[in-house]
Each structure stands twice: as structure tokens, then as C-alpha cells.
Amino acid sequence: MLRGVVYSNSGAAPVQQAIDAVVDKALAAGRVVGTVLLLTDHGEPVYARAAGYADREAGIPMTVDTVFRWASLTKPVVAVTALALMERGRLDLDDPVTRFLPDFTPDLPDGSAPQISVRHLLTHTAGLGYPSLDPDDPYVAAGVSQGLDQPGMSMQDNLRRIGSVPLYFRPGSAWRYSVATDVLGAVIAVVHGGSLADAVASYVTDPLRMGDSGFAVRETARLAVPYADGTPRAVRMGEPHRVEEIVCIWT
């Protein structure tokens, strides 16, 4: 385990001690296997710490340059990419999705096909859903991928499957966590004129010098093992790994 490193002496020690106490408690309880923390003050780095293990079973310690799986944290990155295109006047919140994806016209249960906008995709109010653990889930029945279960599936194929499932509600009338970001990614690819990965790199990760961020791992030796909540301590995730599911719907 590596201790915290303070880069500034201006009141950073109390902050370091407070953060260390929280991290040490979580590690001791087994709720967290490993973590990396970076703290800045007005853009200046004041604290950095790698603690615990990148691979507990192999005894590999966490380092400040360990690579982590982002999972759904990809969603805000894709959203920022869309906003960057809006800054350049190439995309608008109220643009209908069919302007870029003319074949994406999912129906409501009554058979009507309401207009879905970019705004709806960004805010998860498009009426779309997300594949669940329920075998009767319409997204499961349609073979919709949640991004990890069917490697190699093309965006076009997944988009077709998403569009075949009836909407849960009229766009803009409620909120439901969904695959809307997948559809937004397809829109971005069309607007950018290349792949979604290229667009994210061009507008977000490259300008921010996020060299290790992408849709594929460049150095697998630096990749941390994923762990999930367990009793009495976090457990190593399997392939696949079942976790408790929470579905949120706001109206």
C-alpha cells in the first residue's frame, strides 16, 4: 500500500489525514480493494495516493497509473462529446434523431412513432430502457447489448435491435436509465463523419491529455481487476457476474 504524497504545504496535511482516514477504514473493512486518489486546489495538484491492490489475489499493489474500467462513466464522456459538437454548431439539443439516423423510429405500444430529440437522449427521457437480468425483459428478448455481453456487435446492429423494442413512455414525459447514450453515440458518429471512438478522442480525451482513456485497453498489464460488493468483503467479479439490480423510473 502506498501512502499519500503531498505536493503543497499550504494546509494540505489536514486534508491528507482526513482522506487517508476514510480510505484506510474502507480498506480495513474490505469494502474497497484498491483505489487511486488525486486532489487539486485551483488546478494545482496537492495530494495523490494509490492504496490497496490492483489484484488482491495476486498481491499486485495499486499504482497511480493503474488503469480502471469505466463502465457507465463512459456515458458522461459521450455526452460531453455531443456538447462539444454543439459548441461548434454541428449539433443542436432539439435536433430530431431521425435527422441523423432516419431508420431509428421506435414505436410506442399504441403503434405511433413519436419524435425523439438529442435532448431526450442526453437526459434519458427518450422512452428507452436497458437490458436487465429478467429473461422476459423486451431488451433481452431483442438481443440488445449493454456493451459487455456481446463483444464485436456493431453499433448498427445494436441500434436496429434497440429500435425494435417499443418505447416505455412518450419522449419527454418521464425518466428512465437507458441505452439512450448508445443511440447518442451513433448520432455523434454520423455528425463527426467517423467512429464514435474517433470523435471522443478528437473532442474530449486528446484535448484533455487523457492518454489512457478509450474504448480499448492499450496496456493490459496496468488494468485493475474488477471487484464487486460482497460479505464480509468485496469479491472478485466473474464472467459474467450478477449484481443486485436497481431500476429507477421518474415521472
Tens-of-pLDDT digits for all 251 residues of the chain? Answer: 344 444 444 455 787 889 999 999 999 999 999 999 998 888 888 889 999 999 999 999 999 999 999 888 899 999 999 999 999 999 999 999 999 999 999 999 999 999 999 999 999 999 999 988 777 889 989 989 876 656 667 889 999 999 999 999 999 999 999 999 999 999 999 999 999 999 999 999 999 999 899 888 889 999 999 999 888 999 998 876 666 655 555 54
Query: In the prediction, which pLDDT does 194 show?
Result: 95
Helices (H), 30-146: 74-87, 118-122, 138-141
Which domains does the chain carry?
5-67+217-237 (no CATH), 72-205 (3.40.710.10)
Could you give the residue numbers annotated as active site? 72
* Residue entry with cell 482513456: 213
Identify which of 7, 181, 209 has the alpha carbon closest to the alpha carbon of residue 81.
181
Q: Return the number of other C-beta atoms located less than 10 Å from residue 127's C-beta.
A: 24
Report helix, strand and coil shares of the chain as percent, to nearest 5.
35, 15, 55
